[in-house]
């Protein structure tokens, strides 16, 4: 379907060919999404915001077809992105709930947060807190971070070699190993010995896993499987290819089911 001179494949969530209404275009994501797997103008659930601009509405192809605009076109700002995408920042948000050990240099009695109690803080005694708090305290120079016990050069080398040997995914030391590595190494690299080596090792492991994921996603699509089991995959890895994969599968499904003109296929009628 050609819209505005740009070829947009299967724009919108259209199960039939002729839809009079079109879903409002989502805002283009401004965040840098490293490895977020968002490719170009993929249709389906999230059409890219098209440059209709101005009053280009009038360029409707068919006389009786008109574009439906959401109210958001008229000054209220662009519509928010469609739901089924998790930004890497949100995966990091979830990872920040993990507990990590710190050694405070202040003292405070117990804090009763809505999400749980945090133990009394005494200078020099290690205490467990969620990562979001640990990072914040570290930035205010009120504590020292202790790296989790898996963040150690030998262990990570073992994990990396194990990952390279196996064909399937091996269990990772933490379901949020990538986010934790990034956060801790960014904000607390002085508390972590051999930070650079650790960064390289984690990146190697990540690359191996993503390569395996790509291969298995490829074979999944090729053999048109209906179900896949993905234990031992962490959230960040799933997010990296997840959006693209699910949208691609949806498109293929639509193409496949529209091959047979069944009772559900409407022609251009009202």
Partner 1 sequence: MRGALRLVAGACGRMAAAGAEGTEADSDGGSEELVLTPAQLIRSLEQAWLNEKFAPELLESKPEIIECVVEQLDHMEANLKRAKRGDLKVSVHRMEIERIRYVLSSYLRCRLVKIEKFFPHVLEKEKSRAEGEPSILSPEEFAFAKEYMANTEAYLKNMALKHMPPNLQKVSLLKSVPKPNLDSFVFLRVLERQENILVEPETDEQREYTIDLEEGSQHLIRYKTIAPLVASGAVQLI
| 41 touches 47 (CB < 8 A) | yes
How far apart, in Å, are the Cα atoms of 85 and each of 145, 184, 206, 237?
32, 25, 21, 13
Bridge partners (DSSP) of residue 7 are: 2
| 70 touches 79 (CB < 8 A) | yes
Three-state SS for 121?
strand
Per-residue contact string for residues 69-108; x = within reach of partner 1 by CB under 8 A:
-xx-------xx-xxx-x------xx-----------x-x
Bridge partners (DSSP) of residue 127 are: 102
Calculate the CA 226 to chain-centre distance. 22
Pick 46 or 181: Cβ nearer partner 1: 46
- Using CB under 8 A as the binding criterion, the count of chain residues that bind partner 1 stands at 57
Residue from 4, 51, 162, 224 binding partner 1 (CB under 8 A) = 224
Q: Which stretch binds partner 1 (CB under 8 A): 145-153, 177-185, 199-207, 223-231?
A: 223-231
| 121 touches 104 (CB < 8 A) | yes
Residue from 64, 124, 167, 262 binding partner 1 (CB under 8 A) = 64
116 binds partner 1 (CB under 8 A): yes
Contacts to partner 1 by CB under 8 A: 12-15, 19-21, 23-24, 45, 64, 66, 68, 70-71, 79-80, 82-84, 86, 93-94, 106, 108, 111-118, 132-133, 136, 142, 220, 224-231, 233, 235, 238, 242, 245-246, 249-250, 253, 256, 270
């Amino acid at each position: 379907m050609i819209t505005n001179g740009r070829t947009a494949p299967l724009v919108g969530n259209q199960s039939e060919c002729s839809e009079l209404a079109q879903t409002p275009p989502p805002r283009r994501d401004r965040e840098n999404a490293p490895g977020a797997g968002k490719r170009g103008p993929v249709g389906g659930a999230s059409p890219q915001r098209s440059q209709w601009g101005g009053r280009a509405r009038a360029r409707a192809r068919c006389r009786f077809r008109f574009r439906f605009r959401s109210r958001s076109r008229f000054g209220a700002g662009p519509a928010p992105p469609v739901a089924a995408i998790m930004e890497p920042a949100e995966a990091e948000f979830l990872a920040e709930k993990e507990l990590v050990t710190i050694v405070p240099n202040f003292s405070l009695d117990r804090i009763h947060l809505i999400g749980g109690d945090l133990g009394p803080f005494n200078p020099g005694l290690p205490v467990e807190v969620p990562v979001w708090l640990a990072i914040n305290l570290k930035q205010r120079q009120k504590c020292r971070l202790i790296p989790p016990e898996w963040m150690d050069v030998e262990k990570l080398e073992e994990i990396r070699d194990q990952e390279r040997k196996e064909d399937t995914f091996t269990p990772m030391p933490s379901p949020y190993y990538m986010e934790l590595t990034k956060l801790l190494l960014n904000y607390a690299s002085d508390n972590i010995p051999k930070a650079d080596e650790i960064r390289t090792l984690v990146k190697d492991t990540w690359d191996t896993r993503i390569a395996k994921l790509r291969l298995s996603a490829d074979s999944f699509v090729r053999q048109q499987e209906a179900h896949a089991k993905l234990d031992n995959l962490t959230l960040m890895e799933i997010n990296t290819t997840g959006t693209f994969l699910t949208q691609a599968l949806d498109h293929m499904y639509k193409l496949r089911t529209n091959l047979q003109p069944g009772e559900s296929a409407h022609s251009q009628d009202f």
